[in-house]
Structure formats: structure tokens, C-alpha cells
Structure 1
């Protein structure tokens, strides 16, 4: 059995230690072991599933953003638009700026224009300065807003 990327957390350092001990005992019961040289304890931040996770933020890994570049092929346009689409709800005026870049999806032979360059720079700046999520804390108030009704959800 091969397992990778196990993240154990707690509200305090002591809770983390207790949770690690619990998990390691469960591993031992099942004859599973961790390589100590691959373990990282109490990191300030770590990368997981394309995100950099720290104590107070969860944001896209910056090297993925740094690789964004002008497109030449339909595949490249699809990849870029797909990546940018992931952030559409977090970027004001997303639709105004995606318009020029998505032209490459409709007309793949479109040459990369100065407007596309401006819009790509806009997206890179917005994503670089975007904190997508904050880690959950049971100590803060939670507000849930829904448009559900007695007749349905919509």
C-alpha cells in the first residue's frame, strides 16, 4: 500500500501532536509506516492540490500563475481559458477581460493581440493578489445564505 500527502491539523500545537500520535498509532495497527525523512511537522505553509495553504490563507500556487503565457494553438487557448474560468466568480469584470482571450477559442488562428496581452496581465495581477479562501474556524460566526424555498432550490 502506498499513501501520500496526509495532512493532519489541529486548533493548537498540542492538538496537532495528539492528532499525529493518534494517526500514527492507527497506521501501526494496520502495519503502515511513514518515512520520517519525508515528514514535515508544523510547516508555516504547504502545497496541496494546486494550492498554497497557510495559517490564514488558501491561494493558488504562484508558479502555476507564472506559467501563464500568450497562446498559439487551440489547445493552449482551451487550457488558458479553463484555468482562468476557475477564478471567474472571484475576479470583478471577469467577462470584460476574458472576451479578447476567448476569441482564440472561436477562431484558433487568431494572432495574439495587444488587447489579449493587457487582459492576460489583468488576470495575472488579479489572481496573484487573490486570497481564495480562509481556513475554517469553528470559533467564528458562520453565515449561510440560500435561495432555497419550500418548493425547490434554484
Structure 2
């Protein structure tokens, strides 16, 4: 199956191997699942702030239609205005990995204060350290890739 571009196509081109249909299907499903699960997490603070501004200005609750318009307009603006984000996908993913895997582990240890060297303490410290080290490696790798290939930033020119 030829790679057609985009994040998945770039991933398949990166390794230049012939994948079976099942492997390509699994890669696509994993990517779709990740996008559907992570997109609302990172967009919700912005949408909550926009909704708060709307509620304070209009003094009435936000309807479903207004929420969808806010969410759609923000997503559309980011997609059109920052079409070069695919070049920064690994860098953004490294920050996302740090936020989603490392911080919760260390926060749990600092809040719950389990007994040192217990199973849960070791597990959280291990996963947090692994996430932090992977995030650092991804940042370094993406910085080297950007230095090698360059960044083609085109604002509002998809």
C-alpha cells in the first residue's frame, strides 16, 4: 500500500518497508484513536475560556449550537492558519507525552506520598522517568530533524 502523505503516510515512508494490509490498518486505527482521544483534552481549556467569555457577556447559558461553532471555528482557524504544524508534529507530541505520562505520575507520588520503594512508588517513578526521558529524546530528535529539513511556515496558505 503506497503512502499518500500526512502523518501516517510520513510514518510509513520513514521506514520504507512494505507493510501488510493488516499492519497498515492497525496503524491507521491507532492514529485515529489517538487523535480522537487527545484532541478534546488539549482543546477543552481554550473552549472553556471562550464559553466563559460568552456567558459573562451575554448573561445566558451557552447552547449546543454555540459550543459547536466555537469548537469548529477554533479547529478551522488552527488548521488553516497554521498548516505547517505537520512539520512540528513530533515536537508537539514530545510536549504532549510529557504532559500526559510524566506529570501525572510525579503528581500522584507528591500528592499521595506512598511509602518509598513500595510497588506503586516504584511504578510511578519508573513510568514518569521513562516518559521524561522519551520526551527529551523526542525533542532532541525533532530539533535535529527541523535543523536538517528546515521549517516551511506558511501562515494562512494551506
| TM-score normalised by length of structure 1 | 0.26
- Structure with max Cα Rg: 1
- Choose between structure 1 and 2: higher helix proportion: 2
Structure with greater proportional strand content: 1
